[in-house]
Structures are given as C-alpha cells and as structure tokens.
Chain A
Amino acid sequence: MIVPASPDPAKPDLSTPPVAENSLASALPPFSPSAILPRLLARFPAATIELVPNPGPAAEHSLLLDAAHAREIATFLRDDDMLRLDYCSNATGIDWPEKEIVDTVKKSVPDPAGGPDKVVEEKTKRIQPGYLETVYHLYSMARKHGPVILRLRTENRNDRIFLPSLTPVWKSCDFQEREIFDLYGIVFLGHPDLRRLLMWDGFKDHPMRRDYVAPDDFEWEPTPHGSVLDRAKGHYPKTEGLNS
C-alpha cells in the first residue's frame, strides 16, 4: 500500500526518508558558517569565500574571506537583520610558515617480464607557501548567538602582508589589530592608529612569528635544561682538552 506523504504529525511518514540536506539546513542555526556561506555567495558573487572546516570536537568551522571583499562582507554580517553580529570579541593572528608537503601516489606499473603489476609509490614534494592569518570571533548581542569565525590570509609572510582593517566595522578590533601588527607584522590597511602596542616603537622584530629569535641574555642560568641549556652554553668558558 502506498501511503501518501501525511501532513498529520501524529503519523509520520516512514516510507520515504526525509531529504537529508533540506532538513539539515533548516536545523542549522542562522549563524552557522554553512548557513551563512550560501547567503554570502549570493550577495557577493565576485567574492571568494571558503568554508574552513574544524575537524576537532569543537567543530567551530570558519569562513575564509578574500581581502578585497572582507570589509563589505563584515559590514553585511554586522548589519544583516538575521545575523546582527554586532560584537567582535576577539581578533588574533596565526603565523603559518612555509612547509614542505610530500604527496604519495600509488601507481600500478605493468611488469615487462609479464608478471603481475607492481605497485609503485610516487612521492612528489611541493612547497606550501607560508602566510599570515587573522581570526575574528564575532557574536551577536542583539540575537544572542555566536560565534561566527572569520579568517583573512595575507599573500605571503615577507612583503605582501597587507589585510583590510575591520576596526571601521567593529571598534573593538582597534587594540587587537594593533597587537597583531606588533607581534605578527600584519599591516592593516585603513586602521585609524596603527602603532605598536606592546613593544616599543623602534623594535624591529615580530616576536610571535615562528622564526623569531629572542635576544641572548642567558649569561646566568643556575639550572639550565633543554633549549635553555643550549643557549646558556654560548656563555660558558672555553673548555680545552675536553671531547664534548
């Protein structure tokens, strides 16, 4: 017997499984990245927006925006009536240095002697270029939801280190972007007062970068160990006649 789709909630229709995507989309809260992403893509067709999944148990997926449209998208997220993300609680930086990735591809090569095919692993190395990244955590005081996480990435770590400042959109980004500029060296275009925050003005380094080397003041280490011992050894007196 074929039962038509019943509108009666007391008798749920069990013969056909619910359409997974639609029910999932309707169950998503409006601030989840999966719900925001199609709206953003429809609204800003020229923008490149990616969903960056978080595989951990927190599953706080984030949206990777392109620098050219970040300011417009941020303004939209703040002013959209469904989202109303009026509060940026946190902005921070991440340094992703250049790293080498080895791709392994298994290929079956026919044996010229006529035997069974051989499986050969082909390893190709590629360099993933480094970049600097900022992360913004947005909440809505009006709608009581959040967080929505935005990411912005620079083109590299050396000279193309410019990102649009979101301080004109959220005032609370002011000091946090200054701190990111100070410690990571990301230059925020359009920031009203981009100066160093923690270090002094003449300081040249960016201490939170992975390749930063701290100044050597290890002259007196009573109980050195690990990397501290290695650095303290530079101040030890010359040992002659010792094979060490």
Chain B
Amino acid sequence: MSNLTPPFSPGASPQDEPRRSPAGEGGPAAGNISDSEREDLRQHGILLTSLEELYGWGRSNSIWPLQFGLACCAIEMIAAATARFDIARFGAEIFRPSPRQADLMIVSGTVTKKMAPLVVRLWNQMPEPKYCIAMGACAISGGPFKQGYNVLKGIDRLIPVDIYIPGCPPRPEALLHGLTELQAKIRAEHVSGPQAARHLQADSASEFPIPDYGAHDLEPPHNPDLFKPPASPRAEGLKN
C-alpha cells in the first residue's frame, strides 16, 4: 500500500497534476479532485461523479438522429448505419422518422431553396436539447452549387449548426468522427451557470423563423440574427 497516495492527504498537491475532466474547461466534474485521484478511488471500488457528468454521459451516448436525407450525402449516412460502419457503436443508430423523437438533425446534402423552409420547420418541431450536423460541402456552403439560383448557400443561414463535416460527400468514417466530436461537445456542456448549455439558457432561441417562398427568392433569404457573415478577406484588404 506504499504506492497508494491518499487522495485527500494534505501532502499531495493536486495542483501539480493536470486537471482533465469530462466537463471540459469549466472545471472538474466531481468536486475538487483530479482525474488521477478519481481513478485511484475507482480502483478501490468508489465511483465519484456528478449529476452534470452523468447527464452528459447519458445524453451523448444516445443521440437519435432524424431520419431524412436530402441528396447524395444521405447515401453515406445510410452506409454509416449499416453493419460495415455501424453507427450503433456510438448509440446513434435509432433514426427516428418523427422530429418529435429526434435529438440530432443531420443535414445531409444540398438544401434547395424550395426545401429550406421544410428543413427549418423540422428543426422547429424537434424538442430540446437538439443538435445539428451540416454534412458535406452543400449543407455547409452550397458546395459546387454555390452560385446556383435555387441552392441555399449553407444551412447555417437559417438554423444553428453544431458540427460541420466537410467532404463531397464525406465518407461514413467522417460522419462517425463528427458524431464523436458532437458527443465530446455534449459531455462538456454544463447544466447551470453562465456557461450552461444552449437549451438551458432562457434567452436562447429554440425556434427559428421559417422563410416564405417569395417572388424571386426566399423571404428573408437568411436569418439576420443567426447568420452574420464575416467581412471578406478581400474586403479587409481594401480597408487597410
């Protein structure tokens, strides 16, 4: 027992050890002890955790995606659900056909302006907490159809996006990587305080305005509260 340092002994200095907690930058998940101390305790049959950590762990391991596909990226999403890639390993295999039962919207493919109001309506119908993955070049920016008259230049003009997966289309492995990134993001969320998760903050929007079909374009063409384009690098060059 000589090699076992008592976790709460005054001699040990927890500050010397890197504090890494599943809760991310916001501080340790389970009180004032480091991960190595918790690991020591776990070897002695004592599991220390917090409600926040349990909550995030549970949610991150059962992300149910909404079952819909928009274009060829959907084929890769379907492939990710098959036995070869097996999205079930990450607890996201239950593709729900109803937005009321879904946690995750995978915008897989080209969003035409004719389809965009329907995508926003589906997003509004999903209950919180909900997350959005923009899968592929088209969902991110319009992709090869960026200059087209009937293609939305990125779904983030209308709904908030958590994870962007580039590719044309991204392979199923890329989708799985995006999913694990989303899991890490969910595990790092806090349940209270100023850094609480988006869905727990009272002033954060859950529903977004659905654009109308106008005579020449969607009205409005993007959500000005959500989409604030940075100045173009060339425009920055002009200013200087």
Contacts and interface: CB of A to CB of B under 8 A. Distances in A.
Interface stretch (A84-92, A152-160, A196-204): A196-204
Contacts of B217: 215, 217
A243 to B, nearest CB: 12
B216 A239 contact: no
Contacts of B147: 214, 228
B216 A205 contact: yes
B233 A207 contact: no
B221 A215 contact: yes
Interface in A194-241: 198-205, 207, 212, 214-215, 217, 219-222, 224, 228-229, 232, 235-237, 239
Given A203-B213, A219-B229, A239 B153 contact: no
Interface in B207-240: 213-217, 221-222, 229-235, 238-239
Main DSSP-derived SS at the B contact region = loop
A221 B229 CA distance: 9
A187 B157 CA distance: 35
A214 B147 CA distance: 9
A72 to B, nearest CB: 37
Interface residues of A, number: 27
A207 B149 contact: yes
A198 B114 contact: yes
Interface in B173-226: 213-217, 221-222
A244 B238 contact: yes
A42 to B, nearest CB: 46
Contacts of A221: 232
A202 B215 contact: yes
Given A199-B150, A212-B149, A236-B235, A217 B215 contact: no
Nearest to A244: B238
Interface range on chain B (Cβ under 8 Å from partner): 20 to 34
Nearest to A232: B232
Interface in A176-197: none
A224 B234 contact: yes
Contacts of A200: 114, 213
B150 A237 contact: no
A109 interface: no
Nearest to A201: B213
- Counting chain B CB atoms within 10 Å of each CB, the highest count among A220, A229, A236 belongs to A220
B210 to A, nearest CB: 13
A242 B231 CA distance: 18
Given A200-B213, A215-B217, A215-B221, A242 B238 contact: yes
B114 A204 contact: no
Contacts of A222: 232-233
B213 A202 contact: yes
B215 A203 contact: yes
A207 B149 CA distance: 8
A237 B229 contact: no
Interface in A76-124: none
B49 to A, nearest CB: 43
A239 B239 CA distance: 6
A51 to B, nearest CB: 36
- Counting chain B CB atoms within 10 Å of each CB, the highest count among A201, A205, A217, A242 belongs to A217
A174 to B, nearest CB: 20
A40 B172 CA distance: 58
A244 B148 CA distance: 29
Given A198-B114, A199-B114, A207 B235 contact: no
A224 B236 CA distance: 13
Nearest to A228: B147
A38 B210 CA distance: 59
B232 A236 contact: yes
24 contacts: A199-B114, A199-B150, A200-B213, A204-B216, A205-B216, A207-B149, A214-B147, A215-B149, A215-B216, A215-B217, A215-B221, A217-B217, A217-B222, A220-B232, A221-B232, A224-B234, A235-B229, A235-B232, A235-B235, A236-B232, A236-B238, A237-B231, A239-B238, A244-B238
Interface of A: 198-205, 207, 212, 214-215, 217, 219-222, 224, 228-229, 232, 235-237, 239, 242, 244
Query: Which 9 interchain pairs have the tightest Cβ spacing?
Result: A220-B229, A215-B217, A236-B235, A214-B149, A204-B215, A200-B213, A219-B229, A239-B238, A207-B149
